[in-house]
A and B are shown apart, each in its own frame.
Chain A
Amino acid sequence: MKKLLLGNEAVAQGAIDAGLSGVYAYPGTPSTEITEYIQRSKTSKELNIHSQWSVNEKTAMEAALGMSYAGKRAMAVMKHVGLNVAADAFMNMSVSGINGGLVVVVADDPSMHSSQNEQDSRYYGKFAMVPILEPSNQQEAYDITKYAFDLSEILGLPVLIRMVTRLSHSRAGIILGKRIPQNNIKLPKIPTQFQLIPMHARGRYKHLVSIQSDIQENSENSYFNQLIKAPNTSLGIIASGIAYNYLMENFEDADCPYPILKISQYPIPKKPVQYLFDTCKKILVLEDGYPFIEEAISDFLGKNKKIIGRLSGDIPRVGELNPDNIANALGFDVVVDEKLPEIVSKRPPELCVGCAHRDLFDAINELNKEMGSQQVFGDIGCYALGALPPYKSINTLIDMGASITMAKGASDAGIHPSIAIIGDSTFTHSGMTGLLDAVIEKTPITVIISDNSTVAMTGAQDSSASGRLIDICKGIGVEENHLKVITPLHKNLTENINTIRDEINYKGVSVIISQRPCVQLPKEKKEKLKELKKVSLN
């Protein structure tokens, strides 16, 4: 029988069946379930596949490269903005190349369901000059992941798999294939391959450029790129990844009268695009995310009006694709975005009842009354909901760790008080280095680590910070008498306000750890935390 899997789980199963030895990742919607699936998998436990969370995407990417260096197959997994964090490693490992198969899976979030932008990771793949694979459905997600490891070893390069939210978080029945054994340890043949000092890096980069024709050739002949010929050449359609599904949805029994080029492997195959150019009057490009293909095949001055898509306005420039906006572009008569009955109110997400962040924001809002608002810098996590009513406590949300560094910059500019609110896991992900900047300069900022002892927003994964925050802050150089721990409960409100006020008045770096576990944590995790606490106190 078929196995019912999320697109993300299909990637995970594909990796296990491809002889994976380790997955390295930091949680981030919509990518999280890939790693979680491997963590839960019996096979993975039996085979001792590494699957513990990394502190951030950069450490994950580098650890995966280390495993590849040792000759084994490794995978790094992250959401699209996570690749920004890991980009240093990513850009350079295409120059060094890999040893054991290395697959980087990035889940993009068109329409920003759970993100602060809708950047398209295919640009990163092109930037690093590596092959990109973009599955269109769950079965293909499984098959393509297995294929990706082989491709990586054939070309000696990391391979990028691009997922999107709707595929990541949709289930379908999948036919599984056989599992192959893991690679044995085998160190790189050429000892200088991974030494990117300029004299060797130049050689490696030349090599990367020289094999671009092989990468192109591979894509031209890929099973995952298919030209489907059809008689009506008034229109040719290029559909990449999940766009293919939305396209076919519009034709009864998948009977599309127009020629279609289905793309799931990049670089963009030239021959079939040439075929569409030669035979079709117009070409409609359907792609979820940015107009990556459309831009590449359109002419700069726009004199050739043949290509239509997001750039031409035939498909909305922002937001994800769906069967309806594609139907519109095909000229079908559909009513898109019919109005809702007026009676329906918006229901945005909110902090859970009993959530510790709520009690912290109550305290902050009291202080805001005394000290003026718009001086609280926020960060990425559930507490970002503190930007919305009823709290409206935080004023910024840019990227992981930016609360501390933005508070520092604002303080340097002369703003006081300057307060950062950051979660425990976000702090260890990217907050620690910024705190060191502030400590070195004795910048008068107040950093509040809202420590709920988990990565809450993505579903309560283990936080690297648990049981370590005090030692980390001390190690970075925060003065002990300005390192406070408070318990965010309503009964402690006045006391907590006083503590925060005192630290705001201190003209140096203060850190307040506002500590109470997430209400969503399962019991066994809460027990585990208590044990951790005991250990750290001893």
Chain B
Amino acid sequence: MKTNIILAGVGGQGILTIAAILDTAALESNLNIKQSEVHGMSQRGGAVQSHVRISDKEIFSDLIPQGKADMIIAVEPMELLRYLPYLKKDGYLITDINPFINIPDYPELEDLYNEIKSHPNSILIDAKKIAKDLGNSKATNIVLLGAASSLITINSETLQQAIKTLFKRKGERIVNKNLEAFIIGKEMATEIIS
């Protein structure tokens, strides 16, 4: 039982919140976890990634080998593709559709979506809109985590408990918004996958 996840985004987009929820839930489930992250200069608007590895056996490498990731979860569609060499043949791509454009040669969106859709297991969601409609645009990450949740070896309740634990400080309203975001994401992915 092992899940290898690559989280992708641009520095400052908060992929580490997703990582923290996965970490907490994995420890709670008595599973082993290794989770690498990027600190330093790249955090300033550059490409960032986190490797999350969850297993009931001992995990050795902090980095996922190429071709061994079960999924890539991205908060930005071009960043999703940057880690494609890491994806398993039958792995999943899960991404928000909204681009973060801070470079002059950002590709045409249609081309980008087509490239993603050419992959058999891709889940594109307007997570930002869902989060905004909920009145908490910061919950974009959680929509995506929800979308990925059925593919992860941790049960959904434990993930939701981890969301409660991590957002507790910010008050009940924020906790509930995030839980809602998680559930909507989960439902949307189920629809797309089926």
Of B51, B82, B102, which one neighbours A340 at CB under 8 angstroms?
A: B82
Binds B, one of A80-88, A273-281, A345-353: A345-353
Min CB distance, B23 to chain A, in Å?
A: 5
Chain B: residues with Cβ within 8 Å of the partner, total of: 47
A167 interface hit (Cβ, 8 Å): yes
Min CB distance, A36 to chain B, in Å?
A: 11
Of A29, A166, A171, A351, which one neighbours B33 at CB under 8 angstroms?
A: A171
B10 interface hit (Cβ, 8 Å): yes
Contact check, A29 vs B40: say whether CB atoms are below 8 A apart.
yes
User: Measured between alpha carbons, how far is A8 from B13 in the docked complex, in Å?
Assistant: 23
Min CB distance, A79 to chain B, in Å?
A: 10
Q: Which residues of A contact B103 (CB under 8 A)?
A: 345-347
Of B11, B60, B102, B106, which one neighbours A249 at CB under 8 angstroms?
A: B60
Min CB distance, B89 to chain A, in Å?
A: 12
Given the known interface contacts A336-B66, A352-B44, A352-B45, the answer about A169 and B34 at a Cβ–Cβ threshold of 8 Å is no
Contact check, A114 vs B106: say whether CB atoms are below 8 A apart.
no
Of B39, B61, B107, which one neighbours A169 at CB under 8 angstroms?
A: B39
Min CB distance, A34 to chain B, in Å?
A: 12
Of A2, A113, A335, A350, which one neighbours B40 at CB under 8 angstroms?
A: A113
Q: Which residues of B contact A338 (CB under 8 A)?
A: 66-67, 84-85
Closest B residue to A109 by beta carbon equals B40
Min CB distance, B87 to chain A, in Å?
A: 10
B157 interface hit (Cβ, 8 Å): no
Contact check, A349 vs B11: say whether CB atoms are below 8 A apart.
yes
Q: Which of A128-177 contact B (CB under 8 A)?
A: 166-167, 169-173
Q: Which of B20-59 contact A (CB under 8 A)?
A: 23-24, 27, 32-47, 51, 57-59
Q: Which residues of A contact B38 (CB under 8 A)?
A: 113, 169
Contact check, A347 vs B40: say whether CB atoms are below 8 A apart.
no
Contact check, A29 vs B41: say whether CB atoms are below 8 A apart.
yes
Q: Which residues of B contact A173 (CB under 8 A)?
A: 27, 32-33
B152 interface hit (Cβ, 8 Å): no
Q: Which residues of A contact B39 (CB under 8 A)?
A: 29-30, 32-33, 114, 169, 459
Contact check, A254 vs B58: say whether CB atoms are below 8 A apart.
yes
A246 interface hit (Cβ, 8 Å): yes
Contact check, A167 vs B62: say whether CB atoms are below 8 A apart.
yes
Among B51, B57, B103: residue with most chain A CB under 10 A:
B103
Q: Which residues of B contact A4 (CB under 8 A)?
A: 23-24, 27, 33
Binds B, one of A191-199, A219-227, A319-327, A415-423: A319-327
User: Measured between alpha carbons, how far is A170 from B47 in the docked complex, in Å?
Assistant: 18
Contact check, B62 vs A343: say whether CB atoms are below 8 A apart.
no
Contact check, B27 vs A1: say whether CB atoms are below 8 A apart.
yes
B130 interface hit (Cβ, 8 Å): no
User: Measured between alpha carbons, how far is A424 from B45 in the docked complex, in Å?
Assistant: 22
Q: Which of B93-119 contact A (CB under 8 A)?
A: 102-103, 105-107, 111-112, 115
Contact check, B63 vs A323: say whether CB atoms are below 8 A apart.
yes
Closest B residue to A29 by beta carbon equals B40
Q: Which residues of A contact B35 (CB under 8 A)?
A: 170-172
Proximity string of chain A (167-189) to chain B, C-beta cutoff 8 Å, 1 when within and 0 when not: 10111110000000000000000
Q: Which residues of A contact B40 (CB under 8 A)?
A: 29-30, 113-114, 457-458
B78 interface hit (Cβ, 8 Å): yes
Q: Which residues of B contact A172 (CB under 8 A)?
A: 32-35, 59
A: which residues have CB within 8 A of B? Answer: 1-2, 4, 29-30, 32-33, 113-114, 166-167, 169-173, 242, 244-250, 253-254, 322-324, 327, 334-341, 343-352, 382, 385, 457-459
User: Can you offer 13 A-B residue contacts whose CB atoms are under 8 A?
Assistant: A170-B34, A172-B34, A172-B59, A245-B60, A247-B60, A322-B63, A323-B64, A337-B85, A338-B84, A344-B78, A347-B103, A350-B46, A351-B45
